[in-house]
Structure 1
Amino acid sequence: MIITTGDRPLTEVAARAERLAERLGVRYIARGNLSMNKLFSRYGGAEVLVVLLEGVRLLRPDRPQLQFHPSMGFVRAKRVLKGDGDPMLDSAGMAPGDSVLDCTAGLGSDALLFAVRGGERSCVTALESSLPLYALLAEGMANYTSGIEEVDAALRRINVVNSDHQSYLASLPDGSVDIVYFDPMFREPLEDSAAISPLRAYANSASLSQESVLAAVRVARKAVVLKEKRGSGEFSRLGFEEMLRPGAKTSYGVIRIDQRS
């Protein structure tokens, strides 16, 4: 992966891109007059992360670009700020101040919802094992401006970590997080999901293991939550109670920690 900027970047944007490249241990290339095609052909690299004033993009020569945006997470966040319920938050039983470990951050929409509901006293950690996605997510959350102060503050509060969930869970003490959340790549994709399809080129496609679920149960104080396609066999395979929603294509499965024998 290499990091660059858009055309004629402000000095502060170029400096930000250089700092990010140094922190990640990857190459920074000053954009100059290079087109993206010329940049790829001259410098190689599987991905290019483009740092912009209030955004960031991730590109591959053979894939649609990914741009950081909370997408439906922004719409859901506005509803939560108005006091409406949200199926994920309700399934998790999340209360203001709860801590959350999002084990499969992706583009961060769910982490944003947890941070909005949790408020200033909560601690939301979002794990992303893919370095390109981590870079996109960390830079995007630190600089994206939504126009709503509470949403921007929630994005800045999220602790984004470049790690796989297995090793991160193993490092945590028993009962150290209120809620552990998984949203892995579905075993049977929803082919009409325009937001998820480009993500598949970068994300970890491995199925969730029973060992990971057991580790999450050890770490969680309140609940472990899994998002999957409605009726997926993953819920029963991994020991989750599926919370069916009328008309929904996806479901949330829950393991309530206070109900363990």
Structure 2
Amino acid sequence: MSAVCVVTTGHRAGAPELELAALFSSRLGVPLVPRAGLSIPALAKKYGVSGVLVVSARRVSYFYNGEELFLHPSMAKLRISEIKAGKTDWMIKAMALQPGDWVLDCTLGLGVDATVASFVVGSRGRVVGVESSPVLAVLVEHGLKTYRDHAPLELIKAMARIEVVCTNHLSYLKELATESFDVVYFDPMFRKPLQKSAAINPVRLVANPAPLSVQAVQEALRVARRRVVMKETRDSGEFARLGFTRVEGGKSSPVAYGIIEKRGGTG
């Protein structure tokens, strides 16, 4: 986490909010400060910080430079609905994902892709999401376990099944046994951001901006039983740099998926 932050509560905080705020403060190793009727900008100025994590009765949000970041699985909900309707989800197709598969998402972010994968693999499968940004990790882990907001039960269950690990993905990959996951997935910050992707802009404020390394892809190939998949913009030079010679995706979409299939793979 590059930004220094503090944790606070909403203006009308009860015991549950105070308890949760204290937990976030402890996990992030940053101060828990009283709201004291201050606005978010005023609070940030008072404590000389760039970011403020706010625990309210409604949700947990991270405010940074006027942007609010919080978990909302609207895109995952839409994609799951389309999958149920028989439409092609290019990520799922690139992964050749089946019920019962194990997926390692090395760049969890807000957990949209992991949620869709979790829905497809079902209760017999497993999805582990690795996130190197402590703020994103605690925010998303909490949201995945607690989100309701009139969501379908299948979405709630898919979110709740995701295991969140806060660490560097290369370090995590090195610790894993060979061929311990069916699919290893990367969705690093695009080298050339899509200007229309307003939902991702707040994520860029706290996410790890580093490009994916060749070593990480090599470790992923060791860990994957079937294939390694990377999401990037269609015209990105990252596919070639990292050895993804097979690239698939919707013809009208600026986003594509690079695939490295292991020996004997199918799909």
Normalised-by-shorter TM-score class: over 0.9
Query: Take 1:27 and 1:189, find their aligned partners in 2: how far apart are those partners?
Result: 33
User: Is 1:242 the equivalent of 2:250?
Assistant: no
The equivalent of 1:145 in structure 2 is 148
Paired position in structure 2 for 1:163? 167
Amino acid in structure 1 at the alignment position of 2:194? L
- Alignment match of 2:103 (pick from 82, 97, 100): 100
Amino acid at match of 2:203: L
| AA of the residue aligned to 1:139 | H
**Aligned with residue 183 of structure 2, among 148, 171, 179:** 179
Deviations 1:191-237 (A, max 9, x none): 12111222212111111111110000000011100001012221122
| Secondary structure, counterpart of 1:107 in structure 2 | coil
1:80/1:116 contact within 8 Å kept = no
- Taking the TM superposition and a 5 Å limit, the aligned residue runs for 1:1-261 are 1-60=5-64, 62-146=65-149, 147-240=151-244, 241-259=246-264
Are the equivalent residues in 2 in contact too, given 1:81–1:116 (CA < 8 A)?
no
| 1-structure distance, mates of 2:208, 2:177 | 25
Secondary structure of residue in 2 paired with 1:27: coil
What's the offset of the Cα at 1:3? 1.5
Q: Does the residue aligned with 1:28 lie in a helix, a strand or coil?
A: coil
Q: What's the C-alpha RMSD, in Å, of the aligned pairs?
A: 1.7
Identity within the alignment, % = 42
**CA deviations over 1:46-100 (Å, ceiling 9, x no partner):** 311112334221112x242212112312211222345543110111011111111
User: Could you list the runs of 5+ residues in structure 2 that have no partner in the other structure?
Assistant: none
Q: Is the 2:90–2:249 contact (alpha carbons within 8 Å) kept by the matching residues of 1? A: no
Partners of 1:200 and 1:23 lie apart in 2 by 21
Shift of 1:156: 1.2
Which SS does the other structure have where 2:203 is aligned? helix
TM-score by length of 1: 0.93
Note the residue ranges of structure 1 that are not aligned, 5 or more in a row: none
Q: Tell me the TM-score normalized by structure 2.
A: 0.91
Q: What SS does the aligned partner of 1:65 have?
A: strand
Q: Is the 8 A contact 1:54 1:143 kept in 2?
A: no
Cα shift at 1:117: 0.7
Tell me which amino acid in the other structure corresponds to 2:186: F
Q: Helix, strand or coil for the counterpart of 2:191?
A: coil
Using the TM superposition, give the Cα deviation of residue 259 of structure 1 relative to its aligned residue in structure 2, in angstroms. 4.5
* CA deviation after TM superposition for structure 1 residue 18, in Å: 1.5
Structure 1 window deviating more from structure 2 (163-172 vs 39-48): it is: 39-48
Number of matched residues? Answer: 259
- After TM superposition, the runs of 4+ consecutive aligned structure 1 residues lying more than 3 A away are 81-85
In the aligned structure 2, how far is the partner of 1:185 from the partner of 1:192? 14
Q: Distance in 2 between matches of 1:258 and 1:63?
A: 48
Amino acid in structure 2 at the alignment position of 1:177: F
